Chain A
Amino acid sequence: MVVIGIVGAGEWGTSLADVVARRGKPALLWSDSAEIAKEINEKHTNERHLPGVALAPPVRATADLGELAAAAQLLLLAVRSPRVEATVRALGDVVSGRHVVVHAIGSQTHAGRVSELVRRETPVKRVGVVAGPALAKDLRAGRPCAIVAASPFEGVTALVRQAVEATPILRVYRSSDLTGVELASALTGAYTVAFGLADGIGLGTGPRAVLLCRALAEAARLGVASGGRERTFSGLAGLGNLVVRASSEDSDDYQLGFKLGKGETPARRETEGTRAAQALVPQARALGVRAPILEGLTAVVEGGVAVRDAVTRLMESHAEEE
């Protein structure tokens, strides 16, 4: 049976481990906190990230990455985006060519996509991504969720499916479009900030729908120019993710946008979405791709442009054939 090693015992990683373990599939979590690992193993709880939730007993944890790598060929990277680079570097010391690394990071590093980081910092070649509208709270509540697993290696997506598919709660679709799914997922975070902004200034449902459609079109343009497939952006990682995140008012991305829209000046402006936007704006420029939403969004977040002015600019820009 395929053991899944989940790198990161945060809310999503722990919820996934719980769902998988309840279907009788082995899941081993890694936390950089020995205390959390001990708590999971001894009390079957993770109070810091999943307060009040009793985990299925088969969920095990370790604070030793080497132990994780020895136990699992399939490693699912599920740490928060600011910690991705350090964690991947640490993984590089314990993995070999036999490992498969799949990530669930909905952001982009300044050095590129997370899969590129994995290939650069580890010997692993078989990489993949999972993305889609599967929220931790839905997983825990046993609501039907779906994600897409993407990799150019068919064996990787098959392995993910084997390890984490937990029907009827979690269904796993397959794709070979690694670039597209990674970009769609990262861009969704950025556009979630834009939805927060739109709601903050009270634009209403019509303009919200316009934003949704134009954001998808922009994402697809950038994705195709980067080597992804257009169809991916109307799938689970693109449209599916965007719909669910745009409605998640408690997310950091949405909250930042909402506060900015309300005219507040939040001190902390770094979220997964803003990191993705800041990394992808230069990429769009380098590829010659028009990305007015991303450009406007970063201008607002960086404080260079007022929200209303950014909206006016967007509406005054040339409307092309849809």
Chain B
Amino acid sequence: MAFVRPVHEAENRLARFNGEKAAILAEVERRVVEDNLHRARRGGEASLEYVLNDVAFQEIRRLERSARSSADKKRLGEWRDLARRLGGMTTEEKRRHLERLVEEYAGDVCGNFRPGVYRFATRVLPAVLGGILSPRSLTDGSFGDPSGKIVVDGPLDELREAADRGTLVVVPTHLSNMDSVVLGWSLYIAGLPPCTYGAGKNLFSNPFVSFFMHNLGAYRVDRRIGHALYKDVLKTYSQVLLERGYHQLFFPGGTRSRPGSVEKKVKLGLLSTALAAFQTNIAEAKPHGRIYIVPATINYAITLEAETLIADFLAEEGKHRYIIEDDEFSRLGRIADFSRRVLAMESSLVIRYGAPLDPLGNRVDPEGESIDPRGHRVDPATYVTGPDGKVEHDPQRDAEYTRALGEELVRAYRRLTVFMPTHMVARAIWERLAAAAGTRDPFRLLRAGEGEAPVDGVREDVARARAALVARGDAGVLAERYQTMRPGDVVDEALVMFRGYHTRPVVERVGERLIARDLRLLFYYQNRTAHIGTGVWS
């Protein structure tokens, strides 16, 4: 099936990645080693002995918990040996160990880009998937199929131009392991350039996805490793890629939203590399040195891993299971089922891109210039340079700027959220259950097992909330297809979606009552609206 894509297409800078890979790795290794050696002069916690001991300690702890293979056990022995010998090592020996570890971690992180795989992925794969996804032609900046199954929208012309002027850092919300596949596809459909991105190493356990990730510029992030040296390597790798103009994608929420809500806060580590790279570009007077942060929301009517994620959130062990390796995403049959059932529904997936921000959190106008809150242009370099135009290094200042950028992203996510009938109906029922029970404590509400609400009441609630969201403008809106639909039809659409995929229907209609059969999933889907507050529902 042919896709109608924008005439103008951003340059695929990843095409040159393999040629630069060795230089990128060498640069990353040089910077991380030099930074650590420089800091080590301060002694104390920055000393090489401390840094290496921290690496060994955390690796030993990780492997003691998880080592199963003989290779892992051998590695555990090597770490223990290193920890034992550290005290007696000379400075030169410690330096060599540092270099070896940095080389090893950088090699593990580093991605790949195979043009052949990219051609296959972008030409053949969409055609195969086309039967399911059926995209429609471009109209008014939005894409999808004629009946609106999948929609990609936002200021796409502006983003394509930004991709020419500078480097994009695409930072979407994160609900599902399908996100990277879906977002990559949406970039292609929208004529936006492919991005390199930091994917959790656990994703590489799915052979199908792993193949594409390996070969489409994904770099591996092992979230089980928490020591500072590994984070240094990751951040430096990200920074060097940005400095070299590679568009990048990462999920600043860090992990899939377990409760299903929109991200309330974001992790700042990788995000901070945008400002760091921007400063290098200023110092080196690069002509296309601007870096644009592009918020995006990925909005599903039904989430592939909803059952596992909400169970994980609710379970006490949820506090510990940061990485789930045995969810629906690891089962190809479940993905196929999800694709067949869910993606066949109308408007079941909306990918909404927002206008770009600069690394300071300023909005950017259509010409790619930063603007202040009043809409006046401001040169982003002035935030980090002195009167002589030279960059003034101040890590604490930069951390504060990045924190503010993170807050701006959270506001953007709320604004860009597209609710589906499933979210609205779940919230309306949940509110009624809470009012009837006289409590908002989810655990008390969930104990009931099932719950019910009158169809008429839920219809009214959905209609009222839909109008209130449009009036507010800062908390997201119901998907366009459902904006003018009769409230009763919105409820009916939700019921279809709710019985399409999950083990049992989330909500069913019995006469004039809506029966919530799975309160945990009802809680999950209503959580998408959690940032709205209770005002519009009561």
- The answer on a CB contact under 8 Å between B387 and A92 is no
- Closest residue of chain A to B383, judged by CB? A97
Is B122 among interface residues, defined by CB-CB distance under 8 A?
Answer: no
CA–CA, A53 to B266, complex, Å?
Answer: 54
CA–CA, A120 to B362, complex, Å?
Answer: 11
Is B70 among interface residues, defined by CB-CB distance under 8 A?
Answer: no
Instruction: State whether A96 and B387 are in contact (beta carbons under 8 Å apart), knowing that A123-B372, A126-B397, A155-B396 are contacts in the complex.
Output: no
Binds A, one of B11-19, B47-55, B313-321, B374-382: B374-382
Within 8 A of B (CB), among A148-168: 152-155
CB distance from A101 to the nearest CB of B (A): 13
- The answer on a CB contact under 8 Å between A155 and B374 is no
- The answer on a CB contact under 8 Å between A97 and B374 is no
Within 8 A of A (CB), among B366-422: 372-374, 376, 378-383, 385-387, 394, 396-397, 400-401, 403-404
- The answer on a CB contact under 8 Å between B373 and A155 is no
- The answer on a CB contact under 8 Å between A73 and B400 is no
- The answer on a CB contact under 8 Å between B383 and A155 is no
- The answer on a CB contact under 8 Å between A96 and B404 is no
CA–CA, A152 to B374, complex, Å?
Answer: 23
Within 8 A of A (CB), among B170-193: none
CB distance from B335 to the nearest CB of A (A): 43
- The interface bits of chain A over 94-131 (1 if a CB of B lies within 8 angstroms of the residue's CB, else 0) are 00111000000000000000000001111101100000
- The answer on a CB contact under 8 Å between A97 and B400 is no
Interface size (A, Cβ < 8 Å)?
A: 17
Is B429 among interface residues, defined by CB-CB distance under 8 A?
Answer: no
Is B221 among interface residues, defined by CB-CB distance under 8 A?
Answer: no
- The answer on a CB contact under 8 Å between B379 and A96 is yes
CB distance from A143 to the nearest CB of B (A): 34
Instruction: State whether A154 and B383 are in contact (beta carbons under 8 Å apart), knowing that A123-B372, A125-B401, A125-B404 are contacts in the complex.
Output: no
- The answer on a CB contact under 8 Å between B404 and A155 is no
Residues in B neighbouring A125, C-beta threshold 8 A:
360-361, 383, 401, 404
- The answer on a CB contact under 8 Å between B396 and A123 is no
- The answer on a CB contact under 8 Å between A153 and B396 is yes
- The answer on a CB contact under 8 Å between B400 and A153 is yes
- The answer on a CB contact under 8 Å between A96 and B382 is yes
Residues in A neighbouring B378, C-beta threshold 8 A:
96-97, 123
- Closest residue of chain A to B384, judged by CB? A97
- The answer on a CB contact under 8 Å between B383 and A98 is yes
Judged by DSSP, the binding face of A is loop
Residues in A neighbouring B401, C-beta threshold 8 A:
125
Residues in A neighbouring B379, C-beta threshold 8 A:
96-97
CA–CA, A98 to B383, complex, Å?
Answer: 5
Residues in A neighbouring B394, C-beta threshold 8 A:
155
CA–CA, A123 to B377, complex, Å?
Answer: 9
CA–CA, A93 to B372, complex, Å?
Answer: 11
CB distance from A212 to the nearest CB of B (A): 35
- The answer on a CB contact under 8 Å between B387 and A123 is no
CB distance from B514 to the nearest CB of A (A): 32
Residues in A neighbouring B361, C-beta threshold 8 A:
125
- Closest residue of chain A to B381, judged by CB? A97
- The answer on a CB contact under 8 Å between A98 and B382 is yes
Residues in A neighbouring B397, C-beta threshold 8 A:
126, 153-155
Question: Which interface class (under 10, 10 to 19, 20 to 34, 35 or more) fits B?
Answer: 20 to 34
- Closest residue of chain A to B377, judged by CB? A123
CB distance from A116 to the nearest CB of B (A): 10
Contact residue among A73, A120, A152 (Cβ-Cβ distance under 8 Å from B373)? A120
- Closest residue of chain B to A73, judged by CB? B387
Residues in A neighbouring B386, C-beta threshold 8 A:
98
CB distance from A73 to the nearest CB of B (A): 7
Residues in B neighbouring A121, C-beta threshold 8 A:
373-374
CA–CA, A78 to B356, complex, Å?
Answer: 35
Residues in A neighbouring B380, C-beta threshold 8 A:
97
Within 8 A of B (CB), among A207-247: none
Residues in B neighbouring A122, C-beta threshold 8 A:
372, 374
CA–CA, A214 to B374, complex, Å?
Answer: 40
CA–CA, A48 to B71, complex, Å?
Answer: 83
- The answer on a CB contact under 8 Å between B400 and A98 is no
CB distance from A163 to the nearest CB of B (A): 15
- The answer on a CB contact under 8 Å between B360 and A97 is yes
Instruction: State whether A154 and B404 are in contact (beta carbons under 8 Å apart), knowing that A98-B383, A125-B360, A125-B383 are contacts in the complex.
Output: no
Q: Which of B360, B380, B386, B396 has the most CB of A within 10 A?
A: B396
CA–CA, A299 to B387, complex, Å?
Answer: 50
CB distance from B109 to the nearest CB of A (A): 32
- The answer on a CB contact under 8 Å between A123 and B376 is yes
CB distance from A130 to the nearest CB of B (A): 19
CB distance from B393 to the nearest CB of A (A): 11
Within 8 A of A (CB), among B338-371: 360-362
- Closest residue of chain A to B372, judged by CB? A123
Instruction: State whether A92 and B360 are in contact (beta carbons under 8 Å apart), knowing that A97-B383, A153-B397 are contacts in the complex.
Output: no
- Closest residue of chain B to A121, judged by CB? B374
- The answer on a CB contact under 8 Å between A154 and B396 is yes
CA–CA, A93 to B396, complex, Å?
Answer: 27
- The interface bits of chain A over 68-100 (1 if a CB of B lies within 8 angstroms of the residue's CB, else 0) are 000001000000000000000000110011100
Residues in B neighbouring A97, C-beta threshold 8 A:
360, 378-383
Instruction: State whether A119 and B373 are in contact (beta carbons under 8 Å apart), knowing that A152-B400, A153-B396 are contacts in the complex.
Output: yes
- Closest residue of chain B to A126, judged by CB? B397
Residues in A neighbouring B382, C-beta threshold 8 A:
96-98
- Closest residue of chain A to B361, judged by CB? A125
Residues in B neighbouring A93, C-beta threshold 8 A:
376
CB distance from B382 to the nearest CB of A (A): 4
Q: Which of A96, A122, A123, A155 has the most CB of B within 10 A?
A: A123
CB distance from A120 to the nearest CB of B (A): 5
CA–CA, A186 to B371, complex, Å?
Answer: 31
CA–CA, A156 to B394, complex, Å?
Answer: 11
CA–CA, A44 to B414, complex, Å?
Answer: 55
- Closest residue of chain B to A89, judged by CB? B374
CB distance from A69 to the nearest CB of B (A): 12
- Closest residue of chain A to B394, judged by CB? A155
- The answer on a CB contact under 8 Å between A98 and B376 is no
Within 8 A of A (CB), among B193-252: none
CA–CA, A92 to B361, complex, Å?
Answer: 17
- The answer on a CB contact under 8 Å between B362 and A123 is yes
Residues in A neighbouring B362, C-beta threshold 8 A:
123
Residues in A neighbouring B372, C-beta threshold 8 A:
92, 122-123
CB distance from B274 to the nearest CB of A (A): 15
CA–CA, A125 to B398, complex, Å?
Answer: 11
CB distance from A292 to the nearest CB of B (A): 26
CB distance from A22 to the nearest CB of B (A): 26
- Closest residue of chain B to A152, judged by CB? B400
- The answer on a CB contact under 8 Å between A92 and B396 is no
CA–CA, A125 to B394, complex, Å?
Answer: 15
CA–CA, A119 to B36, complex, Å?
Answer: 36
CA–CA, A120 to B373, complex, Å?
Answer: 6
Residues in A neighbouring B373, C-beta threshold 8 A:
119-121, 123
CB distance from B227 to the nearest CB of A (A): 26
CA–CA, A306 to B257, complex, Å?
Answer: 54
Residues in B neighbouring A123, C-beta threshold 8 A:
362, 372-373, 376, 378
- The answer on a CB contact under 8 Å between A98 and B396 is no
Across the A-B interface, the 5 shortest Cβ-Cβ residue pairs:
A97-B382, A123-B372, A97-B383, A123-B378, A98-B382
6 contacts between A and B (CB under 8 A): A96-B378, A97-B381, A97-B382, A123-B362, A123-B376, A125-B383
- In addition to A96-B378, A125-B404, A152-B400, 9 A-B residue pairs with Cβ atoms within 8 Å of each other are A92-B372, A96-B379, A97-B382, A97-B383, A123-B373, A125-B401, A126-B397, A155-B394, A155-B397
